[in-house]
């Protein structure tokens, strides 16, 4: 077992364990923190696949921005074990059914993948490097990329305008 495999196994175990803890933790703050741990271990997997840019963007966007926003809201609302509302049994059933169907679709999709002929490019693939990603974004996907960047810019301008109103 070389060092890449050891790291892969550690990362996988951490990712699965923390993903499980996200849904089993009673306290919402703990859930968010476990989710951050999950994102970090997934970023570790990206780095093993030599997709360093994806790994870092995963950390910036999810762990850095979105999860901080989640933490903010949960801490401000002070959600605790005691204040958690009792959910209706029908709602729980609906949740189980929809989650189960998603699992079914995922399993059905993954069953058809050809695992034998696909090899993970460890430490050598360069698809995830920023240069190739940038070329792809600005040649094949120019229009969607520009539209989404205009959307982000308008969101930023909107925040400034709302702030200036007072």
* Contacts with another protein, residue ranges (CB under 8 A): 2-3, 29-30, 33, 36, 52-53, 56-57, 59-60, 63-65, 67-68, 71-72, 75-76, 129-130, 156, 159-160, 163-164
- CB distance 53 to 133 below 8 Å: yes
CB of 139 to another protein, least distance (A): 18
Residue whose CB is less far from another protein, 88 or 165: 165
Q: Long-range pairs for 29-37 at CB < 8 Å and ≥24 separation?
A: 29/71, 29/74, 29/75, 29/79, 32/67, 32/70, 32/71, 32/74, 33/71, 35/67, 35/70, 36/63, 36/67
CB of 53 to another protein, least distance (A): 5
Q: Long-range pairs for 22-26 at CB < 8 Å and ≥24 separation?
A: 26/81, 26/84
Residue whose CB is less far from another protein, 30 or 138: 30
CB of 8 to another protein, least distance (A): 14
Residue whose CB is less far from another protein, 60 or 105: 60
CB of 60 to another protein, least distance (A): 4
């Amino acid at each position: 077992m070389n060092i890449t495999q050891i790291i892969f196994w550690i990362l996988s175990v951490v990712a699965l364990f923390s993903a499980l803890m996200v849904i089993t933790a009673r306290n919402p703050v703990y859930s968010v923190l476990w989710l951050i741990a999950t994102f970090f271990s997934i970023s570790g997997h990206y780095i093993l696949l030599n997709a360093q840019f994806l790994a870092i963007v995963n950390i910036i966007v999810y762990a850095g921005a979105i999860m901080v926003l989640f933490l903010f809201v949960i801490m401000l609302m002070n959600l605790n074990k005691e204040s958690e509302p009792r959910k209706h049994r029908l709602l729980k059933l609906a949740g189980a059914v929809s989650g189960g169907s998603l699992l079914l679709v995922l399993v059905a999709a993954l069953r058809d993948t050809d695992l034998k002929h696909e090899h993970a490019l460890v430490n050598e693939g360069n698809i995830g490097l920023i240069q190739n990603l940038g070329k792809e974004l600005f040649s094949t996907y120019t229009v969607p990329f520009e539209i989404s960047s205009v959307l982000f810019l308008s969101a930023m301008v909107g925040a400034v305008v709302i702030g200036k109103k007072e």
